[in-house]
Structure 1
Amino acid sequence: MRLAFILSEIGSGLRRNLSMLVSVILVTFVSLTFVGAAGLLQMQISQMKGFWYDKVQVAIFLCVDSSASPSCAAGPVTDQQRQNIRDLLASPSVDPYIAGEPIHESQQEALGHFKDQFANSPIVDSVTAGQLPESFRVNLENPEKYEVINEIFSSVPGVDVVIDQRELLEQVFSVMNVASLVAIGIAVVMIVCAVLLIATTIRLSAFSRRRETGIMRLVGASKTVIQLPFVLEGVIAAVIGAVLASGTLWAVSHFFIGEWLATEYPNTAFISSTQAVLLAPGLVLLGVVLAGVSSLLTLRRYLKV
């Protein structure tokens, strides 16, 4: 009997405040979507770091005519300097840090790679092999030991510059982290809006049913029985918004990331739709907590029992 009464009160409240209910659902949906998007970005960053950090190389670029570093003061790299660099790479002081054999890329090979990467650029036909440096590409046993390689080779005659490809990845990850922070900032603003809207909805619902609650007090209804329908109204709206947010994130990860981005960039590690599903329980729980806390605080002020 008590359960039937609570359910009837919930249904009555939802019908009376249908427009406000829809508003709560939409605001909760938008706010939790941004929360989930921030979570997806962090998962993608972790995925890419784990995938790429073991594959990035250190590039040791050799001197050309246009090189300005002190080690290139004598001009382009000579055959003797090139051989000295090969010997140093194979030396006992360097070899433990290197995984596999160093790869030598000539200027002609560098030009071929440049044309492949910038095939649609108008400058591709104006670049010659002589303008591009030859290099040695090495994989590290421990990518964190880049500074050791840099210190050893940066001042060697014939070496122009030593570049860790992780630096380029860090720039990409920095942009993604900024995007994640922006998503979190927007989510916080939207969550505040959702909390205020839930509180307003509960307040209006309590005001419109003040006669019923007064009668319930007189007949000795408990505090829980009186307040529970109001709390559940907010929780139901928040749960619907959380489910919609979870569905949206799954659709984005499945169709946009899984079926389009993964096809366009097959050599990049992207998160799967399964990982997006893992966020759903957290989003629903967050929605329930926000709705429950805001409802209870509002009822304590506007519904004295």
Structure 2
Amino acid sequence: MRFQFIVDEIVIGLRRNIAMAVSVVLVTVVSLFLVGLGFLAQRQVDTMKDYWYDRVQVSIFLCGDVSTAASCADGAVTDAQKEQIQADLNAPSLQPYVKQVYFESKQQAYDRFKEQYKDSALSENVTADQMPESYRVDLKNPEQYKVVSDVFTDRPGVESVESQNQVLDRLFALLNQLKLGAWLLAAVTLLCSVLLVATTIRLTAFTRRRETGIMRLVGASNFFIQLPFILESMIAAAVGAVLASGALVAVTHFQIQGRLAKSLTFTNYVGVGDALSIVPWLFIIGLGIAGVSAFLALQRYLKV
């Protein structure tokens, strides 16, 4: 009997306040969608880090005949200097950091340059003798590239030491700032959602103050009076979570995987599975905000 009464009150409340319910749904959709994008941005940054850091190398470029670096003042690298560099790369002190070492000759560097810039006029103006020899070092932990870099920087026979981490660190710093911006925007919209839900519930309670007064007179508990209002807001939030989840999955499937991943193939991207794993969190956040906002709003505005 009580359950049926609560259901009837919810139906009546939603029918009477359809405009308010729709506004709660819409603001919930926007706020939860932005929250989902924040989660997705976090996953994307982690995915890009896994992709790129597994491919990071430290490149030790050796002095050539035309090198102008201070460490190349004595001319091109000698065989003895090469042997010492190779020995240091294989030394026990660097074994915890070095996974594998490749030596790239001038001809190999030239062939790779020609392949990379085959459609550019640059490839026609470079000879094999102009290309530097180098050691390419794969790391066990790419984030520790400075340990290897510091050992060989400014060493006689070494023109320069470069690591892709120097570029990647700046890239991921930018991505982290964008991710933080997405989270801040999501937080603002969630705050708007909380305020709207609380205001909607207060107005609903005010328009039905006569019914709640009668319920209080016949001995209904505070929780029993509040329950229909709380459930109304949670139903609206659940509808908003469904729509926000659908929008997040659609964006991931059609925009990220369907367009972005096909046009920009330099890294991996999040997929529908990542979006689906975020969906439960959207429901938890949406229902939690709606329920708590309604409960706190009713503590003050449902007194009769």
Bucket of the pairwise TM-score, normalised by the shorter protein = 0.7 to 0.9
**Contact 1:81–1:157 (Cα < 8 Å) also in 2:** no
Shift in Å, 1:55: 2.3
C-alpha separation between the residues in 2 aligned to 1:14 and 1:168? 55
Secondary structure of residue in 2 paired with 1:199? helix
Q: Report the Cα distance in structure 1 between the residues aligned to 2:193 and 2:238, rounded to whole angstroms.
A: 12
Paired with 1:13 and 1:66, the residues of 2 have a C-alpha distance of 83
Task: List aligned pairs for 1:133-152, cutoff 5 A.
Answer: 133-152=132-151
User: Taking structure 1 as reference, are residues 263 and 71 closer, same or farther at Cα in structure 2, changes over 3 Å only?
Assistant: same
The code of the aligned residue for 2:248 comes to L
Equivalent runs, 1:113-128 vs 2, <5 Å: 113-115=115-117, 119=119, 124=122, 128=126
2:51 maps to which residue?
51
Residue pair 1:239, 1:287 contacting (<8 A) in 2 also: yes
Task: Mark the CA change 1:67 to 1:295 in structure 2 (over 3 Å): closer, same or farther.
Answer: farther
- Inter-CA distance 132–27: structure 2 relative to 1 (3 Å threshold): farther
- The amino acid of 2:283's aligned partner reads V
**Percent sequence identity over aligned pairs:** 46
- 1:274 counterpart residue number: 273
Cα 1:192/1:90, change in 2 over 3 Å: closer
Unaligned runs of 5+ in 1: none
| 1:268 counterpart SS class | coil
**TM-score, reference length from structure 2:** 0.86
For residues 43 and 301 of structure 2, what CA distance do their matches in structure 1 show?
A: 42
Alignment match, 1:4: 4
Moved over 6 A (4+): none
One-letter amino acid of the structure 2 residue matched with residue 230 of structure 1 = F
Q: 1:279 Cα deviation (Å)? A: 1.0
Does the 8 Å CA contact 1:254/1:272 hold for their aligned counterparts? yes
Provide the aligned length of Structure 1 versus Structure 2: 300
Q: Secondary structure at the match of 1:279?
A: helix
**Is the counterpart of residue 111 in structure 1 residue 113 in structure 2?**
yes
**1:111 partner amino acid:** F
Between the aligned partners of 1:162 and 1:154, the Cα distance in structure 2 is: 6
Deviations 1:52-87 (A, max 9, x none): 323211111234677554213345x34547734664
CA RMSD of aligned residues (A): 2.8
CA contact (8 A) 1:110 1:133 kept: no
TM-score calculated relative to the size of structure 1:
0.86
Q: Does 1:41 align with 2:41?
A: yes
For each residue in 1:72-103, what CA deviation from the matched residue of structure 2 results, as whole angstroms up to 9, or x when unmatched? 3345x345477346644664357734333414
Checking the alignment, whether the CA contact within 8 Å between 1:105 and 1:135 is kept in structure 2 is yes
Q: CA deviation at 1:295?
A: 0.6
User: Separation in 2 of the partners of 1:187 and 1:197?
Assistant: 15
